[in-house]
A and B are shown apart, each in its own frame.
Chain A
């Protein structure tokens, strides 16, 4: 405080820690910034960060940041941005214009919506939106354009009741990437999953546990969720009895079963004659994403 520049912001020992890291990085030309758990409340505490044009990774997890400034988009070399466990309620529109951003983690924040045009990222490969307050109406129209490059999408622990069928667009480039995409929809309020998920031929990890699902679309049988490189997690759902019975024996039995003619018949009958959706099971009142700074 004695020899630093005069600032009207509250100064804490941790804040100077963040500054120190930035200064060190500037000195060593280090393109990666580790600022996890530095008590950062605002980007304004980190002057100079926005001007580090050569930076490729910023990790700011476990801080208390509420706002991401639009200027962050000036970091054109940035490939990884980790904002996990902050207090962010809104992301800047400019974020999706970042030309090299490949991995974006904004899990465990307080997002109710995503900015418009969010699907415009050029090369985004991993998007983690776990543990926010998002639902199907939070997604901007071009969201699934991300499928051009995305290989892992984490939407677990949000408030989705349905998934738009446009998710089928996620299949596009995954074949060329020869990677195995992951899709996490754990602990939402999903009533349904769209049959389009069955058209993601390279999907190898599907997490749909703890939702309100009763049936699976038979199209899911198209997927190779069998192999030792594949994962299907589906526990804690109010499954119809035949699926629940198969699940007792093992997930591979469920996949075998939904591929059968018997199941296709049962599924069509179930869809035709189904009643109101099962009640919401997850108590979300204690989620920290529900905390509101100014409400």
Chain B
């Protein structure tokens, strides 16, 4: 069979170029011939397991080496991606590994938005932007809350998801959450009421923050106050039970009341903390209310005369020279009367 022999002599191995012995096994793949020992992975020079090979740029590789050399790694789990590869965010992913960074939904078929180097689904991206711009996301419908949110049990909601516990009216952000009422334990009665119903329940409203007072109530200046909101009109420190001084509808601490309204004793020039004698455009402390001319102490009931807007006791007045008394009387008759008694 010269033809056969001839044909054997014409054939050579695609890898080593040598001919084949007639008894040799020949591997034929896609029209090319190899010695079996030459039909191996270009990388590890071992036969292909199960005869399965991958070809790339004219070379053949076993599955393992092909993946090592050329297959993409998943950006999340680090495993090779076989089959469908998701190329996104400058990396490759298993379809199951490419998920929304917030809600973990698979993004492969629903599209995604790049947000601060994270892949987010459209919903989470909208929520994220809303939070950044100061808006809230309703805990119930996950929609953006355009108006003021209704706060309830620590979350924020659209008011319209709720109705007033008392009258059933649909609520808005003005609704009040009632934390605890007498007779109920804390949080047991966390319910929502519309403003009208809330007001009818007689819960005091703080004169400063306009919110209901659910703990200790301070009543002063004809209003109710949270303990920590009843403060000095000047320094804004809470009185916390310390004495306060009222003037023109405002409350002041002792220091600032005296500093602003000048109740300094005319004699000792010190802040008057106890009772004050006020007369002749001046003030005196209890120790120093006395006749300006003989320093004899006077009381609320002591009658006195006025000289240069200073008090003169009767005894001193009678010791004044008569010409001086005459002038005092004349001046007194001509002065527009302010109060001249203690």
Contact = CB atoms under 8 A, between A and B. Distances in A.
User: A and B from one assembly?
Assistant: yes
Interface of A: 34, 36-37, 57, 59, 61-62, 80, 82, 84-85, 102-103, 105, 107-108, 125-126, 128, 130-131, 151-152, 154, 156-157, 177-180, 182, 184, 186-187, 204-205, 207, 209-210, 229-231, 233, 235-236, 250-251, 286-288
Q: Which of B264, B320, B321 has the most CB of A within 10 A?
A: B321
A154 B321 contact: no
Given A57-B295, A180-B262, A287-B321, A235 B267 contact: no
Interface stretch (B196-204, B222-230, B327-335): B327-335
Given A105-B293, A286-B323, 15 more contacts: A36-B296, A61-B293, A61-B295, A62-B319, A103-B267, A107-B293, A125-B269, A156-B308, A178-B259, A207-B308, A229-B281, A231-B281, A231-B309, A251-B336, A287-B323
A129 B137 CA distance: 78
B127 to A, nearest CB: 57
A82 B295 CA distance: 8
A2 B323 CA distance: 42
Q: Could you tell me the dominant secondary structure of chain A's interface residues?
A: loop
B334 A151 contact: no
Contacts of A179: 262, 264, 269
A205 B281 contact: yes
B78 to A, nearest CB: 75
Given A82-B295, A205-B281, A178 B264 contact: yes
B172 to A, nearest CB: 48
30 contacts: A34-B294, A34-B295, A36-B296, A37-B315, A37-B319, A59-B294, A61-B293, A61-B316, A62-B293, A62-B316, A80-B295, A85-B293, A107-B293, A125-B269, A130-B308, A152-B266, A156-B308, A178-B264, A179-B262, A180-B262, A182-B309, A204-B281, A207-B309, A210-B327, A210-B331, A231-B309, A235-B334, A235-B335, A287-B321, A287-B323
A131 B324 contact: yes
B292 interface: yes
A205 B269 contact: no
A263 to B, nearest CB: 22
A126 B268 CA distance: 10
A186 to B, nearest CB: 7
Q: Which of B262, B296, B324, B334 has the most CB of A within 10 A?
A: B324
B308 A154 contact: yes
Contacts of B338: 231
Q: Give me the 4 closest cross-chain CB pairs, A-B, nearest first.
A: A36-B294, A59-B295, A286-B323, A288-B321
B269 A151 contact: yes
A36 to B, nearest CB: 4
Interface string B293-331: 111100000000000110000011001110110010001
Interface bin, chain B: 20 to 34
A250 B336 contact: yes
B133 to A, nearest CB: 49
A156 B319 CA distance: 18
Interface of B: 259, 262, 264, 266-267, 269, 281, 292-296, 308-309, 315-316, 319-321, 323-324, 327, 331, 334-336, 338
Given A61-B316, A182-B309, A82 B264 contact: no
Contacts of A34: 294-296
A187 B327 contact: yes
Contacts of A107: 293
A107 B294 CA distance: 12
A32 B269 CA distance: 18
A128 B310 CA distance: 11
A62 B318 CA distance: 11
Contact of B319 (A85, A178, A205): A85
B331 A84 contact: no
Contact of B294 (A61, A207, A209, A235): A61
Contacts of A287: 321, 323-324
Contacts of A251: 336
B294 A186 contact: no
A74 to B, nearest CB: 22
Contacts of B315: 37
A158 to B, nearest CB: 12
Given A103-B267, A207-B308, A62 B335 contact: no
A157 B331 CA distance: 13
A87 to B, nearest CB: 13
A29 to B, nearest CB: 18
B54 to A, nearest CB: 94
A260 to B, nearest CB: 22
A231 B335 CA distance: 11
Nearest to B293: A84
A56 B262 CA distance: 25
B132 to A, nearest CB: 50
Contacts of A103: 267
Contacts of B319: 37, 62, 85
Nearest to A209: B331
Nearest to A84: B293
A105 B292 contact: yes
Contact of A235 (B296, B323, B324, B331): B331
Contacts of A210: 327, 331
